[in-house]
Structure 1
Amino acid sequence: MNTDKIKEILTPQKLETLFPAQRSDDFFEAFYGDAQDSHFDIKLQLGKIEENRITLEFHLIQRPGKCLACNMTYGLPHVLARHPVINIEGLVNDIAAIASLDPSSLKWTLENTSEKSSDLHVVPLIITTN
């Protein structure tokens, strides 16, 4: 895996294209029935890139006037992993395509939610190559 190439490809703009803000709204629309009921937005960010590992981060960003409570976000990795609107398998395949990686050689996992601040929690998405 060419780490320099992947850093050049996975820009904030490209990650916004791969995981647009609308997907966060669509997820909460499906989950709550109304996206406005959500207490946070979900944004995809680049964590770090290593020899055989890409770390992306789902940033859970508190909405104005709402509370980002741990009890709302700690179980989220299990939900995100299997929710069709989030579609992590499709996201990983899209990343493989733009980075010229073989999707069959990639494995992904979501790690536990970590609290970075009272208004930001992070769910790491780890993509590894064989």
Structure 2
Amino acid sequence: MDIKSNQSTENRPEGDRILNAPYVFTDIPMYLEQLKSEKSWAKNDRNAITVYKSEKFTIVIAVLKSGAMVNDHSISECLTFQVLAGELKVETEGRIFYTTPGQMMTFHAGIPHSIRALSDADIVITTYKN
């Protein structure tokens, strides 16, 4: 297996984060601290970083400020998000859910949903292809 890493960017010039290897260790608290210290967090209502990416699935750690909204979101892959901190209001197919730390939601591909952060929130998002 080839080891794959990211390319450095203007926002993250240190680059060289391993994204795919026989194993990838992820320090979630360290990434949460990093996300909240970046300029993107100061300027925007959210920030995120990909910590694993293969042909089949991707894992992203994201932080949302209270009031951040993802409207009518739908992707061609299955999606799971787990709340680490904060509270989210999720609307899908005419139903409303309130998710809090330790809870998780999973969507099949193509299912539209909206997410609103009711407080600052930390989440782990996983997308995967069937």
Fold conserved between structures, TM > 0.5 = no
Q: Whose helix proportion is higher, 1 or 2?
A: 1
Q: Whose strand proportion is higher, 1 or 2?
A: 2
TM-score (norm 1): 0.31
